[in-house]
Amino acid sequence: MIAADIISDGLFAAIAAMGFGSISDPPMRAFPYIAILAAVGHATRYCLMTFLGVDIASASLIAAFIIGTGSVWFGRKVFCPMTVLYIPALLPMVPGTYAYKTVFSLIMFLQEISSPTQGSEYLQSMIYNASVSFSVIFMLAVGATVPVFLLRERANSMTRGSRFI
């Protein structure tokens, strides 16, 4: 049952990554690798958060690091820069609901500004949502960029000798 949960999480994350990625027009040859990276990354984050109780920011950092390392490996195969593979794969993990709930909390706070109890509750929820969304986005990008810093030579010559131009 647990295995089925993990596999379905990876599968739906892969579909989400391909779909959201296709809005930004990636090369067709990159799609299978985007799907694999997204599935592995999202399933890792799911396992860390559900079974080990890791918080969302640290889990995102580890998942993004795995995606970034994978994109070093796959990028050479399809002659794509690492960002072309790892940005679409990270898209399903971008905390969109937290981001717009920050704005909602702000609007509600302004409406309840004269009531001290409710107003401060909304203010608290605004800070909570804002800090979660900012730190998750930061951790996602940093985690995926760390392999670039470690393997600078290899990471910067992904498209050298490309067969596709």
Partner 1 sequence: MTQEYVTEIADFIARYLSYMLGAGVHTSRVVRNSKRLGTALGVDVSIHTSQKTATLTVCGKDDTSVMNTRVLDIPAFPISFEWNADLSALSWAAYDKKMTLDEIRMKFDALVSKPKMNPVFVLFMASLANASFCRLFGGDIWAMLVTFTATLIGFFTRQHLTRRHVNHYIVFIVSAFVASLCASTALTLGIDTAEIALATSVLYLVPGVPLINGVIDITDGHIQIGISRLVNALMLIVCIAIGMSGTLMLVKDSLL
| Contacts to partner 1 by CB under 8 A | 8-9, 12-13, 15-27, 30, 42, 79-81, 83-84, 87-88, 90-92, 94, 96-97, 99-105, 107-108, 122, 125, 137-138, 140-142, 144-145, 156-162, 164-165
d(CA 67, CA 42): 9
Contact predicate 132/51, CB 8 Å? no
- State in angstroms the smallest separation of the CB of 49 from partner 1: 12
* Nearest distance in Å: CB 66, partner 1: 16
Q: At what angle do helices 2-23 and 82-90 cross, to 10 degrees?
A: 120
Nearer to partner 1, 72 or 101 (CB): 101
- Minimum distance from residue 55 beta carbon to partner 1 (Å): 18
Tell me the C-alpha distance between 157 and 150, whole Å. 14
Chain mean position to CA 48: 14
Q: The tokens of 65 are what?
A: 């690091």
Nearer to partner 1, 8 or 120 (CB): 8
Single-letter residue type at 105: S
* N-term to C-term CA, the chain: 46
Length, in residues, of the chain:
165
CB of 53 to partner 1, least distance (A): 18
Quick one: 59 or 140, whose CB is closer to partner 1?
Answer: 140
- The answer to whether 43 and 6 have CB atoms below 8 angstroms apart is yes
Q: How far is the CB of 56 from partner 1 (least distance, A)?
A: 13
| Residue closer to partner 1 (CB basis): 58 or 159 | 159
What is the amino acid identity at position 125?
A: S
Q: Tell me whether residue 19 or residue 55 sits nearer to partner 1 (CB atom).
A: 19
